[in-house]
Chain A
Amino acid sequence: MDVDPVVQVIGASVRFAGDIALDGVDFRMFAGEVHSLMGENGAGKSTLIKAMTGALRLDAGAVLLEGRDVDLSTPAAAQRAGISTVYQEIDLLPNLSVAENIMLGREPRRLGFIDWRRTREAAGQALSALGIDIDPASMLSSHRLATQQLIAIARAISTDVKVLVLDEPTSSLDQDEVDELFRVIRRLKSRGVAILFVSHFLEQVYEICDRITVLRNGVLVGEYVTTELLRLDLVQKMLGKATFDLEQMTTRAPSATPAAAREVKVSAQGISRRNDMLPTDLDIYEGELLGLAGLLGSGRTELARLLTGIDSLDGGRLMIDGVPRRFHEPRQALRHGIAYSSENRKSEGIIAQLSVRENITLALQAERGWFKPIPRNRQDELSASWIEALDIRPADPDRLAGLLSGGNQQKVLLARLLAVAPRLLVLDEPTRGIDVGAKVEIQRLVSELAIDGMTIVFISAELEEVLRISHRVIVLRDREIVAQFDPDEITIETLLTIVAKAEDGT
């Protein structure tokens, strides 16, 4: 291209305690483009982003903004220079108004005091520039997550922004909300903003991005024009190995028992919960891998929580092995061998301040009771065997779980649940927010567990994934089950139309 890049990173290197996180990476972005930074966890994506946004200093190399060496020592300095970031966990303040969240730190002032009227006006302008129609005076906490994200973007662009970094912006949005976000992104693009779009969703990257830069193990793999890069090639470049994993995964694990001979493991009869679930019937068979498909808010998580005693039933009953049971808290369900892995890995799963070993033995210890501690050598044995079995990396049982990558945290979580030998395992989005390689590994693991005869309920936002590994697929929509299929008899396109609901009645 003839134009000069708006941002240019030259020879960026960063080390953390001897580990090389970035090694001489070059990176550039042009005004008015949407650029994607791709790579597995540990590829150096977030390190590069942090270096550009002032959250981290480079050990070597430089970041040039419009050809000049600018001060990017703090997030505030980066923002002043024109680089703004919207983080994955939306970093806004729920206790303040929308207007304040957008304008905080740069409110128009008169005689040193904040001019609230002009503040609200400026916030309103930032919102309408994005085509968002909400009252700037309303409280941030009164808005949906997706709206909050757009508000975060409004904040980012209310300065003279040249580069906008969106870190995993779509991970908790449903399709409509993603469309809304993309509309905003295109609008910004036409205004000449360079947008760095970081996402695990390949479809979205292909839909919105003009160019893709791939990193692997802290090294630049290359910069590509999206339309000239095949998906398979992209994945290959990210993984740095042949795509045998994906090939291998296309075969579904055979079920342990023939369908006809299966016993009903759990039978839900008209279970319901106010605001969460309409009365629903569901039989889960011994040894099957049941996939739950549906959009965010369709009731997929809510159903899982009802089955596992996280939320209590308002109506209906649960039969476990033919006996009616009532669960008021998860430990009662656990006693019957029913374990739940939450979609919120960070807040409801992994305990970041505990070591990998402690995280793995946690559920088992809870089951034994806290007055009978598991002997240390038994703990070591247990964690070592699970670390090996699930290939948790780094293979250090004393490392704090919070320091692991998302994929490895998910494995630790799985190990914790598997350690209590559950008979029904409910996995709510176990592959969310982890890189492609780890995703494939988790999928394979789940399949293997099913081969061994464990009953598994597998929830995922990615239809393709559900379709590929499940024995049976159930579709939820508007808080009820709307369809069920043999995954061999349905294509992803058909599934998509059912999940998304054709308003026209098809």
Chain B
Amino acid sequence: MTALTETERPAPTISRWRHFLVGKVAWMPVLAAVVILVIMLVAGQAYFGRFVTPRILSSLFVDNAYLIVLAAGMTFVILTGGIDLSVGAVMAFTGMLAAKLMSTGVPAPVVIPLMLIAGAAFGLIIGVMVHYFDVQPFIASLAGMFLARGLCFVVSLEAIQVKNPLVLGLQSVKINMGDWYVTPTVIIALLLVVGATWVLGYTRFGRTVYAVGGNEQSARLMGLHVARTKVLVYVVSGVCAGIAGLLFTAYTAAGYSLNGIGTELDTIAAVVIGGTLLTGGSGYLIGSLVGVLVYGVIKVSITFLGADASWTRITIGILLLAFVVVQRVIVARANRR
């Protein structure tokens, strides 16, 4: 072990820091999202009192674990310049499928891989349509969304309750650390974020995702695996939708065919607020996590205010608009230089 640490000593901190600065233009929107998050938390604390508490902060993660997972997958897709509108419906479908199978007695260790495979299959179909049949990602994933939503109704029109202790345990087990607590769903979501960040930053697949988003033609001429990458990002997003289906099923303790309507848009909003350019090629997964937290804080604030839930959407809409404009300005300034 000691011999290993000697050879695997990390790079000097200076070059690390430089590497960090390399993407400083791309980091600016992420920073903006963090600033927004902090401002909202501070404002919430000032207005409501007792707002920034471990319990509420913990619940931000617990209540939005499924969204974090969806946003992680969506980040891959948007980084290539694509979009995946199917994630909400796929999440609902995998949830339905799982609830149905478990109600007929299929054990959870069989059901859970099936959910991931179902999600991957949807992603694969969309990816193949996008790349090999040159269908607009918007249209291809819209088709995927209708297909998944339709299949929900095929499985069952009614909500199906989930009683499987393993699945429910993902949400109900609370691991307390002082006033903080996490559930297995949060751990899964955060592990996924860490893993996906690693994949984007340290694998050829991840770098090719950025390359494709920067300029697909150039990436192809550089001899990168463009086709494989473009299909794979939708598969990643599909698998994430499958995982989100699992977390959401644990969260609601039921599969229901109308679950997650509009969730794909919340996901896209979180990713964009988190600083990923819709045109692709620039953004960070950690930003998407911050984007989800911003979304979560807005939702909590609206609840605290006792205002109508529609205000969540209105606030998100305004924020989204502001962020898209900010991104345009940043891109325009970068181009001018």
Residues of A in contact with B (beta carbons under 8 Å apart): 55, 74-76, 79-80, 85, 87, 91-97, 100, 104-105, 107, 109, 112-114, 116-117, 120, 135, 137-139, 141-142, 155
Contact = CB atoms under 8 A, between A and B. Distances in A.
B11 A93 contact: no
A139 B11 contact: no
B25 A96 contact: no
A104 B206 CA distance: 11
Interface string B186-230: 000000000000100111100110110111011111111000000
A112 B213 CA distance: 23
A100 B23 CA distance: 12
B69 to A, nearest CB: 22
Contact of A113 (B203, B210, B213, B282): B203
List the 4 closest A-B pairs by CB distance, nearest first.
A76-B223, A93-B214, A91-B218, A117-B11
A80 B223 CA distance: 9
B283 to A, nearest CB: 10
Contacts of B223: 74-76, 79-80, 105
B24 to A, nearest CB: 8
Contacts of A75: 220-223
Contact of A96 (B11, B210, B217): B210
A92 B218 contact: yes
Contacts of B218: 91-93
Interface string B13-33: 001001101110110000000
Contact of A141 (B19, B210, B220, B334): B334
Given A100-B207, A104-B211, A112-B203, A93 B15 contact: no
Contact of B282 (A95, A104, A105): A95
A100 B219 CA distance: 12
Contact of B214 (A94, A113, A120, A137): A94
B222 to A, nearest CB: 6
Contact of A120 (B15, B26, B220): B15
Contacts, number: 85
Given A91-B217, A96-B211, A104-B211, A116 B19 contact: yes
B274 interface: no
Interface string B265-286: 0000000000000000110000
B34 to A, nearest CB: 21
Contacts of A74: 223
Interface string B59-83: 0000000000000000000000000
B50 interface: no
Given A104-B222, A114-B202, A142-B337, A137 B22 contact: yes
Interface of B: 11, 15, 18-19, 21-23, 25-26, 198, 201-204, 207-208, 210-211, 213-215, 217-224, 281-282, 334-335, 337
A183 B222 CA distance: 24
A155 B221 CA distance: 12
Contacts of B337: 141-142
A85 B223 CA distance: 11
B204 A114 contact: yes
Given A74-B223, A116-B19, A137-B21, 15 more contacts: A79-B223, A87-B221, A95-B26, A96-B214, A104-B222, A105-B224, A107-B207, A113-B198, A114-B201, A116-B11, A120-B15, A120-B19, A137-B19, A139-B25, A155-B222
Nearest to A94: B214
A105 B214 CA distance: 15
19 contacts: A55-B221, A75-B221, A85-B221, A91-B215, A91-B218, A93-B210, A95-B210, A100-B207, A105-B224, A107-B204, A113-B198, A113-B202, A114-B203, A116-B11, A117-B15, A120-B19, A137-B15, A139-B22, A142-B337
Contacts of B224: 76, 104-105
A135 B14 CA distance: 13
A105 B281 contact: no
Contacts of A85: 221
Contacts of A107: 204, 207
A55 B221 CA distance: 9
A85 B18 CA distance: 30
Contacts of A116: 11, 19, 202
A137 B23 CA distance: 9
B213 A104 contact: no
Given A93-B214, A95-B281, A105 B15 contact: no
A87 B224 CA distance: 16
Nearest to A118: B11
Given A91-B217, A93-B214, A105 B19 contact: no
A66 to B, nearest CB: 20
B207 A95 contact: no
Contact of A139 (B23, B202, B220): B23
A179 to B, nearest CB: 25
Nearest to B211: A93
Contacts of A100: 207
A91 B201 CA distance: 22
A139 B335 CA distance: 12
A87 B217 CA distance: 12
A51 to B, nearest CB: 15
A92 B217 CA distance: 9
Nearest to A159: B223
A93 B22 contact: no
Contacts of A117: 11, 15
A116 B217 CA distance: 25
B229 to A, nearest CB: 11
Contacts of B213: 95
B18 A135 contact: yes
Nearest to B217: A91
A114 B204 CA distance: 7
B279 to A, nearest CB: 10
B215 A93 contact: yes
A92 B211 CA distance: 9
A154 to B, nearest CB: 13
Nearest to A103: B207
A87 B282 CA distance: 24
A79 B217 CA distance: 16
